[in-house]
Structure 1
């Protein structure tokens, strides 16, 4: 049995926290293939201490803190919004030149949390297609995953991602 590294422990804690705030299981989040990219982005943008503070916050707090909202949106739409922007959704960030195709508008490795001019950016080439948004609404990302011939003839099937609790 191998010893788990600190980085692996932090990544697992991030996914566990993300499962709590997104309503999806850890299994679903790992299945997106985006856990490492999203964790790396959150660390770069919030700083290690900022991410730890967000993960230590009460996930049931209403409203959630700005950093927590940024993490939730990251999982749902694959776009990083700096915490001040987390209250609004800029769909143009998915398609604007220089912001899609896996090339962040802000250079990788730079922390732009305090930079008021840092635009939202798509985290990776697969972030759009793997966004939880599509599973939540029972749809497929337009032009990215084929739902199959004739699938438009039937209504979408919704999965219940909430845990069933005994009365």
Structure 2
């Protein structure tokens, strides 16, 4: 992206780039209705420079870029996983026994902090501000918009409907699955 481009041009470049890394067409991505929300989330969380750098990176090396991984996950599941979380899952933290020894423990960094500020003094959100942070300062994963779950590319990729959100249609139960 160039410095003098408008927000609309930046959004179009973001969608074009996203089509490349997700494997879905620009038409499909625009059709989710989430393009603007996803672009704003990525910029709010990582800053415009990090997004510009990710979009202009070598297409053959994008899978190694943690910001790109976060963008891909965002399109597929509608959840922002910060770059520090996009490439790994701490299985041990989720499978460790809880206090009773019988149930999995919830990691300490999964609880939102109290009293966090959403806007900076200038009225503009700073990168990563306005969302819960773990004990080590990482932004915790969050759902980007009310429609993000139902519009996730995951459902199209597996040929399914999001549970409880988009029914396959009246009487569809009468026919065997495709």
* TM-score normalised by structure 1 residue count: 0.74
Structure 1 or 2, whichever has the larger Rg, is 2
**CA shift digits 1:41-95 (9 cap, x unpaired):** 01111101000011011232274310000000000000001101002469x9xxx
Structure 1: state its 5+ residue gaps.
99-104, 156-167
Q: State the partner residue of 1:150.
A: 173
Task: Figure out how many residues of one structure are paired with residues of the other and give that number.
Answer: 141
Structure 2: state its 5+ residue gaps.
91-105, 120-124
Q: State the partner residue of 2:128.
A: 112
Q: State the partner residue of 2:142.
A: 121
Distance across 1 between alignment mates of 2:147 and 2:111? 17
Return the offset for 1:154: 1.7
**Residues 129/82 of structure 1: CA separation in 2 closer, same or farther (3 Å cut):** same
Q: State the partner residue of 1:59.
A: 59
SS of corresponding position for 2:145: coil
Q: State the partner residue of 2:16.
A: 16
Q: Which deviates more from structure 2 when the two are superposed, residues 62-71 or residues 131-140? A: 62-71
* TM-score normalised by structure 2 residue count: 0.70
User: 2:63–2:69: 8 Å Cα contact kept in structure 1?
Assistant: no
Q: State the partner residue of 2:95.
A: none
Distance across 2 between alignment mates of 1:66 and 1:29? 21
Q: State the partner residue of 1:32.
A: 32
User: 1:106–1:118: 8 Å Cα contact kept in structure 2?
Assistant: no
User: 1:73–1:81: 8 Å Cα contact kept in structure 2?
Assistant: yes
**Residues 73/89 of structure 1: CA separation in 2 closer, same or farther (3 Å cut):** farther
- Structure 1 stretches of 4+ moved >6 Å: none
Taking only aligned residues, the RMSD between alpha carbons, in angstroms, comes to 2.9
Distance across 2 between alignment mates of 1:106 and 1:69? 27
Distance across 2 between alignment mates of 1:83 and 1:106? 21
Q: State the partner residue of 1:70.
A: 70
Distance across 2 between alignment mates of 1:153 and 1:106? 51
Q: 2:156 aligns with which of 127, 135, 146?
A: 135
